Amino acid sequence: MSRVCEITGKKALSGNRRSHSLRATRRKWNVNLQKVTVMVDGKPVKMRVSARALKTLKAQANKA
């Protein structure tokens, strides 16, 4: 499975790991994905959602 949020499309970011001598090697920051059951058109659907998207969904659900 790919590490992509099914709602926002967020993916892993890449960059450099820097040692004390400032030597650069490649590294990756993965997305904080959570397995969640979301109601879509009245039916439960299992999705992999980023923690940020999940927080936004919960806030919108409480608001409505």
Domain for residue 63, yes or no? no
Domain for residue 26, yes or no? yes
Domain for residue 64, yes or no? no
The CATH number that applies at residue 5 is 2.30.170.40
Q: Is the pTM of this model over 0.85?
A: no
Pairing of strands 33-40, 13-18: unpaired
Distance set, CA 37 to CA 3, 20, 28, 53 (Å): 17, 44, 27, 13
Domain for residue 6, yes or no? yes
How far apart are alpha carbons 36 and 50 in whole angstroms? 10
Domain for residue 27, yes or no? yes
Per-residue model confidence (pLDDT) at position 2: 87
Domain for residue 61, yes or no? no
Domain for residue 17, yes or no? yes
**Residue-wise pLDDT tens digits, 2-60:** 899 999 999 999 999 999 999 999 999 999 999 999 988 999 999 999 999 999 999 99
Domain for residue 59, yes or no? no
Distance set, CA 64 to CA 49, 60, 61 (Å): 20, 6, 5
Structurally, the chain folds into a number of domains equal to 1
